[in-house]
Structure formats: structure tokens, C-alpha cells
Chain A
Amino acid sequence: MNYFEQLINGFGTALSPSILIYGFAGCLAGTLVGVLPGIGPALTIALLLPLTFKAPAVAMFVLFAGIYYGGMYGGSTTAILLNTPGESSSVVTSLEGNKMARRGLAGQALATAAIGSFVAGTIGTIALTFFAPIVVSVALTFGPAEYFSLMVLAAVSVTAVLGNSVIRGMISLSLGLIIGLVGIDLQSGQPRFTFGGVMELLSGVEVVVAVVGLFAVGDALFLAWQGREKSKKTVIISPKNKWYNWMRKEDWKRSWKPWLRGSFYGFFIGALPTGGAEVPTLLSYYTEKKLSKKPEEFGKGAIEGVAGPEAANNAAAAGVLMPLLTLGIPTSATAAVLLSAFESYGIRPGPTLLTQQSNLVWTLIASLYIGNVILLILNYPLVGIWVKILKIPSQWLYVGVIIISSAGVYGNGRSSFDLALLFFFGLIGYFFRRFDFPAAPLIIGLILGPIAEQSLRQALIIGMGEWTTFVTRPISATILFIAFVLFLSPFLINFYSKRKKTI
């Protein structure tokens, strides 16, 4: 059966009523968490991990895909109406989107964001459909040495490229690695970092505890420490301004090219080991600013400044799935949690996933197409509801977040120790946010650490214990070289910019 037939079969499964309900629930929940600041798709999926023991894999991954895509859509609504980006990838959208809303163009901003998200999400999914099998055919030639090098590249590039400081990024990554190694070593049976054999630590640290602690508890602690609530000045859309009138002919004309350019940036940068949606959204914004026929509108509310970054943001979501599904390498916190969800089903993402779990993968991809349509339909009529939810006083919003987070962790094994650990990660999350440490490298280190160790061992066994195996194999050596250059690049850029200033 070729990939096209498998995709059609995937549509058959994804459109069955029971799976469709999961997809719809995922999109709804994803949009909600995208709207709410401090709660993102990574956290939501982590909270739902205990359910993986109860529902079939296909249903849960359709739900997770809906949450992931929904989160990307939802972030733009609050960025435009409240100037409060729900997700870091929506920060750029708020630059122009909120200015448009204040000029009375909220409808246009929301419409170009939603349609752009739909267009980019669909383009990204089409690209994923066509490129995933190609990447798989290349990845099938990879051995453990290449995999280990790829993991090094992913970890280093996420740390060095996305954060504000390589040093803080590396502290976060190595701390994640150490936490990922806690527990019994499966190869030798030796306990590691278990403080004299603390029973609860022998099985390692659950990903859900780390993710929920870092993001939910950490964020709530930070806001409690700060003690100030940002004013929520909502832009109201006139009820006379019906949603189907939101996009005028001129808006379509000014939006379609940024949508396409944003989709291109988003997918291809999202699919790189650096991953993430922050870089492509910024790149898209500056490209649109440069190419715009009305550059003077930038900073005052230019529609291109919303259309491009929003498209890039959504295409990046599809791009991030590419290394995850084809190589088993997560390049964002959400992808890392998704990898953990695969593992809880005993499924190892990688090149063999497309053949061994073809129904799951193609249903997941088909659900992304369907999810885009669901989200487009959901986004317009529900804008008013999302805005009302944000009016909930922050103290009760965070009480809800903490109790839901505790339920997600406690429901995983009814362990008070896990709750205490949740609080420990909450403290790390608070310190990280306060002192500007990135949290994503910690999550990636935590999940990739044990997998990388496994690949390292396999590579050395195959290479008869020779460490040179990583540099004598051409693909592995090239990947390690790129990782090395990426690691050094922030230092080199810093050095040259300082030198230029002195000259």
C-alpha cells in the first residue's frame, strides 16, 4: 500500500465518529489553553498522560494533535484582543494585532490570523505528508552513532539558538539530563541519583511531574511573587460587525502572500533540529516589514504583521512533528511530551514508525487536516467566550490551574512524593522565569538523556568500544560538526559584534 492510500485510510479512521469526538475535544481544549496565559499545549498534554492507560493510542494522539494545533490558534486571540500572548509564539502577533484592534480593526486581525493559521496548518500538514516518507528513507540508513549525534544536535541547537544565553541554556539542559538519569540504570541495574535508594526515585522522575511543575506551578509562584496583575483592557468587537464581513477585499489582497511566506518559514524552520515557532514568527515579521508596500503602518497595526507570523506559527507546529515522527527527536517542550506519550504506549517514534504503526501515523496526519477545519469553524464564533474566560479573576484562575495540575500528577500513582516533587519543579520554574533561564532545554534533556545514553551504548558496542566511531562515520561527523558550530555561533556573533563596535 502506498502512502496516499494509507493517508486515505487514515482519513477513514479519523472521520469515524468516536475519533472525531476526540479531535473536536482536543481542538476545543487546545484553543482554551492557548487562550489562557501560563497554560500551554505541553502542560495540557502532560496532564492528560494518565489517560493513556485507558484510551486507545489512535484516539489519544488525535486528541493531543488537536490540543497542539488548538494551542497555536488560541494564542493569537488574546494576543490581538488583550495584548496578552497566550503562547510565546504569539508574542509577534500581538505587536501588530493589538494595534489593529485598537484602531477598530479587531475583526480583520482575528480573521487574517485564523484564516492564515488554517492555510499554514494545511500547507504544513501537506508538506509533512510528502516530506515525512523522504526523511524516513534517509533515516533508515542511520545507525546508533548517527542517532546519538542527531540528539546532540537537537539538544545543543535548542539550547544555543533559542535562549538568550548559552550558559543559562546549558545549565538548564544539563540539569534536565541529570534529572532524566535518576533511577535504576536499565543496562546495569545500578541506582543513580536516588539518594541512598529512595524508593520513589528508583523508577525515575515522571515527565508529567517535571512539565507540570515547571510550567504551571512555576508560573503561578512567579505571579504570586510578583503580586501584580496586568491590566486586561479588552478590545470589544461591535456586534454589528458580523464575522463574515471581517475580511475585506483589500485585506485578502494584503494577506495571502504573507500567509504563504509564513508557511514556508514556519514549516522548514520548525522541521530543523532547532525547532520551535519563535524564530520563524520573528523572521516572518521582519520579512513582511521589509516587503510591505505600506511599511509606515508597521508599529501602528499592519495586517501583514499579523498574517505572516500567525501562518509561520501554525506551520511550525506541523514542522516540529517531522523530526518527532520520522527520527524520534523532539525539538520543543510539546514534542518532548508527545514523545513521552508515545513511550507510554510502548511505541518508539523513528523511521520504523511509518511502517510499524502506519495506521496511527496516517490517522494522526489526517486528523491534522480535519483539526484545521474544526479550528477554523471554532475560532470565529467562540471569540467572545474565550475573552469572557480571561475575565476570571487571576487568583481563582491559578487556584484552578494548581488544583488541576495536582490532580494530573496525583492521579498518576496517588503518590504524595510526586506532589512534593511537583513543588520542587515549581520552585525551579519560578527561579528559571525570574532569572531568565529557558525551560524547554530542561524538558528536552530530561527526555532525550536516557534515549541518547542508550544510543551511545549501542554505537559503542557496534564500534567495538571505539569512541572514534562518531567521527569516522561521515553523517555522524557532519551532524556533530554542525552541532559544534551552532554551539559556538552565539559566542562568535557576540565576539564579532563587540569587535565591530570597538572599530
Chain B
Amino acid sequence: MNVYRFSLILVFLCGLAIWQITQIPKSTLYDAVGASLVPKFAVGVFTFFVILYIYQSLSKSKKLPDIADNKNEKPLKNTVNRLSFFLAGFLLFVLLVKPFGFVFSGSLCGVGISRSFDTKISFKSFIISFLIAASVWTLFSVILSVNLGPAFSFKL
């Protein structure tokens, strides 16, 4: 990923926003400011500044900031690996929280995230993640009465 590729993501977001503007149905009621006026303005401003950003990223006179270019902040090797473990851990949590409950899915998520910080996947990392997830569930569900669902569940 670099500034150009990030610009492409912004262009994609612009495209999505413009497409969504065309999907806003016309109101049958009279309104000084219709449902689409402010969205059109917001998307217009977004598109305009994204174009300026792309122009800046292509112009050779000014280099846009990317932390990856900074000597002191440069990432270490295996960035893709680390980000993949983070994504996998979080995805597991999203998919499993309903069928398996908060604590089990939270523990798996914890293992993935700790792996993304270069901790080896082991029984120890699972136990620490389990303890963290169980403590958070107790704090929110039992003490603060926030409904996180069951700690464990096996509904497939």
C-alpha cells in the first residue's frame, strides 16, 4: 500500500457515494431542502478534495506523507502477515460471537491479535486471551449490566 493505492481506495469510496446519491428516491412532498441536497453537497466536497489529493499525489513537487517512508517509523518485515492475523482474529470474533458466545470468540480474537504483535500461537496465549475476554464480559455483563449475551453458547 502506498499513497497512490490509497488514492484509489478514496476514488472507490467517491464512486460508491455518487452511486448512492443516484439511489435517493425523489420526495413527493415540497421541501426547501430535499433529502438529497445536503448529501449531494457532502459528496461534491468529498470528490473535489479527493481529486486535489490525487493531483498532489501525482505531482512531483510535493511528496505526500506516508509513515512507511519515515526512517524512524518504518514498519518491520512481515506487515502482511501481522495484518492478516489481526484481520483473521477480528473476523472470527464477528462470525462466532453469536453462535459461541462472547468469551470463546473473544479468546480466539485475542489469540489472532496477540499473534499480530509477534506473540506465538500457543496454549498460553489462548489462556491469557480467555482471561481478558472473561474479565471484560464480567465487567460489562455482570457489573455494568450491559447485555453482551451469554459468555458461552453452542448454537449453530
Q: Which residues of A contact B (CB under 8 A)?
A: 50-51, 54, 164, 167-168, 170-171, 173-175, 177-178, 181, 185, 187-188, 190-196, 217, 220-221, 223-228, 394-396, 398-400, 402-404, 406-408, 410-411, 414, 416, 419-420, 423, 426, 431, 433-436, 449, 452-453, 456-457, 460-461, 465
> With a CB–CB cut-off of 8 A, which chain B residues contact A460?
32-33
Within 8 A of A (CB), among B12-71: 13, 17, 20, 23-25, 27, 29, 31-36, 38-39, 42-43, 45-46, 49-50, 52-53, 56, 64-68
Interface Cβ pair total, 8 Å cutoff: 190
Contact of A431 with B35 at beta-carbon distance under 8 Å, contacts A188-B29, A224-B82, A396-B114 already known: no
Jot down 27 A-B pairs with beta carbons below 8 A, ordered by A. Answer: A54-B145, A167-B49, A167-B56, A170-B49, A190-B35, A192-B35, A192-B39, A193-B20, A221-B83, A223-B117, A225-B75, A227-B76, A227-B79, A395-B118, A406-B93, A406-B106, A407-B137, A410-B148, A414-B147, A416-B94, A419-B97, A423-B91, A434-B68, A435-B66, A436-B65, A452-B38, A457-B33
Residue of A50, A174, A423 near B42 (CB, 8 A) is A174
Q: How far is the CA of A406 from the CA of B102 in the complex (A)?
A: 10
The residue among B56, B78, B145 with the most chain A CB atoms within 10 A of its own CB is: B145
Does B142 have its Cβ within 8 Å of any Cβ on chain A? no
Nearest 3 pairs of A and B residues by beta carbon: A395-B117, A411-B146, A174-B46
Residue of B10, B113, B140, B145 near A224 (CB, 8 A) is B113
- Minimum CB–CB distance from A446 to chain B (whole Å) comes to 11
Residue of B25, B42, B146 near A181 (CB, 8 A) is B42
The answer to whether B13 and A181 have CB atoms under 8 Å apart is no
> With a CB–CB cut-off of 8 A, which chain A residues contact B64?
435
- Minimum CB–CB distance from A29 to chain B (whole Å) comes to 12
> With a CB–CB cut-off of 8 A, which chain A residues contact B87?
423
- Minimum CB–CB distance from A52 to chain B (whole Å) comes to 11
Q: How far is the CA of A164 from the CA of B45 in the complex (A)?
A: 19
The answer to whether A403 and B132 have CB atoms under 8 Å apart is yes
Can you name the residue of chain A whose Cβ is closest to the Cβ of B3? A435
Q: How far is the CA of A404 from the CA of B109 in the complex (A)?
A: 12
- Minimum CB–CB distance from B18 to chain A (whole Å) comes to 11
How does the 8 Å CB contact mask read for B97-131 relative to A, with 1 for contact and 0 for none? Answer: 11000100010011001101111000000001100
Q: How far is the CA of A175 from the CA of B36 in the complex (A)?
A: 16
The answer to whether B42 and A403 have CB atoms under 8 Å apart is no
The answer to whether B17 and A187 have CB atoms under 8 Å apart is no
The answer to whether B113 and A195 have CB atoms under 8 Å apart is no
Q: How far is the CA of A493 from the CA of B33 in the complex (A)?
A: 36
Q: How far is the CA of A126 from the CA of B116 in the complex (A)?
A: 47
> With a CB–CB cut-off of 8 A, which chain A residues contact B73?
226
Residue of A221, A419, A433 near B86 (CB, 8 A) is A221
The answer to whether B24 and A192 have CB atoms under 8 Å apart is yes
Contact of A174 with B45 at beta-carbon distance under 8 Å, contacts A195-B20, A456-B38, A457-B32 already known: yes
Residue of A50, A170, A187, A196 near B45 (CB, 8 A) is A170
The answer to whether B90 and A423 have CB atoms under 8 Å apart is yes
The answer to whether A395 and B119 have CB atoms under 8 Å apart is yes
> With a CB–CB cut-off of 8 A, which chain B residues contact A191?
24-25
Contact of A407 with B113 at beta-carbon distance under 8 Å, contacts A178-B46, A190-B27, A416-B98 already known: no
The answer to whether B110 and A188 have CB atoms under 8 Å apart is no
Q: How far is the CA of A465 from the CA of B67 in the complex (A)?
A: 48
Can you name the residue of chain A whose Cβ is closest to the Cβ of B144? A51
The answer to whether B117 and A398 have CB atoms under 8 Å apart is yes
Residue of A167, A226, A403 near B106 (CB, 8 A) is A403
The answer to whether A407 and B65 have CB atoms under 8 Å apart is no
Residue of A174, A433, A453 near B49 (CB, 8 A) is A174
> With a CB–CB cut-off of 8 A, which chain A residues contact B27?
188, 190
- Minimum CB–CB distance from B93 to chain A (whole Å) comes to 6
Q: How far is the CA of A179 from the CA of B53 in the complex (A)?
A: 20
> With a CB–CB cut-off of 8 A, which chain B residues contact A178?
17, 39, 42-43, 46
Q: How far is the CA of A452 from the CA of B45 in the complex (A)?
A: 16
The answer to whether A419 and B42 have CB atoms under 8 Å apart is no
The answer to whether B109 and A420 have CB atoms under 8 Å apart is no
Can you name the residue of chain B whose Cβ is closest to the Cβ of A177? B42
Residue of B25, B52, B146 near A50 (CB, 8 A) is B146
The answer to whether A400 and B33 have CB atoms under 8 Å apart is no
Can you name the residue of chain A whose Cβ is closest to the Cβ of B134? A403
Residue of B38, B66, B136, B144 near A434 (CB, 8 A) is B66
Can you name the residue of chain A whose Cβ is closest to the Cβ of B56? A167
